[in-house]
Each structure stands twice: as structure tokens, then as C-alpha cells.
């Protein structure tokens, strides 16, 4: 991925600038991501907090994931577009929505998770690394 990369929500009130290489880029098919995205999956760019600048007002909704860790999903206070999330099980990381990149072709997913929740009718990727559930951190590609 070429850096820096910028992106933002539907109305432009929330903007981000990615200034460091992502720790992980992937696709999640869990039911929470499906419901939050309105699609068969969510695209995620995991980056250390220090590697992204976020601007604009967001609100958040928090709930435990199946792991028991609380995931906070942030969205634009104006247009409601989901912008990023945090997971208490991965402190110091921010997960940006790759579909919000100004140049979404920069997103190159390395893995997909929760394929057991992927509907038969959509959201298929030809990725070598995939997991039926969330893998332990040591198994995740970096």
C-alpha cells in the first residue's frame, strides 16, 4: 500500500489519513460485521493508533463479540457511515473500513475470517488464508 492514504465517510465530515503500514488487511464475515455493514462482509485495515489521523465527530456503539471482547464501532455523527472500530482484545489498534479509502484499489486483503458465517450467495474471495472463526493472534498474517 502506498502511503499516505486518505479516506472518509459518505458526507466527508469524518476523514482519516493512514500514515503507517497496516498490520493486517482482511475481510470479516461475522454476523456483527454483516449487520453493521449491510453486506456479506466488512473490509478491515488494522493499523496502530499512532499510524492513523482521524478527524471529525463520530459516535459509537459497543457490544461484546463472540470472544467476549468489547468491540466499539464508530460512525459519522452526520451521515451514519461506519468509519472504524476498536476491539478491547487488541488495544492500541484501529480498524478502518477499506471501502472508505479514496483509492479503494489500495486495499489488498491478506485473509478472511468467520467464513463459517459467509452466506452461500455472496462475498467470496480467493484468499489463501481463511479461517472459519477468528484465529489466535499468532496465526494471523502480518
Which pLDDT band, with edges at 50, 70 and 90, does 142 fall under? Answer: low
Higher pLDDT, 38 or 135: 38
- Phi, psi angles (nearest 5°) of residue 124: -90, 135
Q: Any bridge partners for residue 64, and if so which?
A: 70
Is this structure's pTM higher than 0.85?
Answer: yes
Q: pLDDT tens across 21-32, in order?
A: 999 999 999 899
Spatial CA neighbour of 50 closest among 92, 89, 6: 92
Mean pLDDT calculated for residue range 71-95: 94
Query: Does residue 7 have a pLDDT over 60?
Result: yes
Query: Does residue 136 have a pLDDT over 90?
Result: no
Side-chain-side CA neighbours of 43 within 13 Å: the count stands at: 16
Amino acid at each position: 500500500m502506498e502511503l499516505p492514504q486518505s479516506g472518509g465517510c459518505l458526507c466527508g465530515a469524518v476523514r482519516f489519513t493512514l500514515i503507517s503500514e497496516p498490520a493486517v488487511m482482511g475481510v470479516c464475515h461475522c454476523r456483527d460485521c454483516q449487520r453493521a455493514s449491510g453486506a456479506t462482509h466488512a473490509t478491515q485495515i488494522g493499523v496502530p493508533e499512532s499510524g492513523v489521523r482521524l478527524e471529525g465527530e463520530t459516535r459509537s456503539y459497543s457490544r461484546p463479540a463472540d470472544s467476549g471482547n468489547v468491540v466499539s464501532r464508530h460512525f459519522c455523527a452526520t451521515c451514519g457511515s461506519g468509519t472504524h472500530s476498536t476491539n478491547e482484545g487488541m488495544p492500541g489498534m484501529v480498524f478502518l473500513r477499506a471501502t472508505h479509502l479514496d483509492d479503494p484499489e489500495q486495499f489488498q486483503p491478506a485473509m478472511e475470517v468467520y467464513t463459517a458465517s459467509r452466506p452461500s450467495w455472496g462475498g467470496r474471495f480467493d484468499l489463501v488464508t481463511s479461517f472459519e472463526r477468528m484465529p489466535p493472534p499468532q496465526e494471523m498474517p502480518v
